[in-house]
Structure 1
């Protein structure tokens, strides 16, 4: 069970950045966002 709750407004969450990349509009070459895949210490594998 996770210790993360929605109570309170100040949270501290430790994660590891697994991958990070820029999202860019290919038509205008405009920067859209910085995207990341994050992992916490509780790893969950999803198989589709």
Structure 2
């Protein structure tokens, strides 16, 4: 249970950092939903990769 809460916390902090960087670099910021979906996919792929190693 602790791992799930930590992952959500990391995901939210990453989302904030991504939005900040996109704005500072002049890119059209992704929506929060787009970022969270992208982070979810990445986390799932990483978990799958770690399980196969």
Q: Same fold (TM over 0.5)?
A: no
Would you tell me which structure has more strand in proportion to its own residues?
1
TM superposition score normalised by structure 2: 0.24
Query: RCO higher in 1 or 2 (8 Å CA, sep ≥ 6)?
Result: 1
TM superposition score normalised by structure 1: 0.25
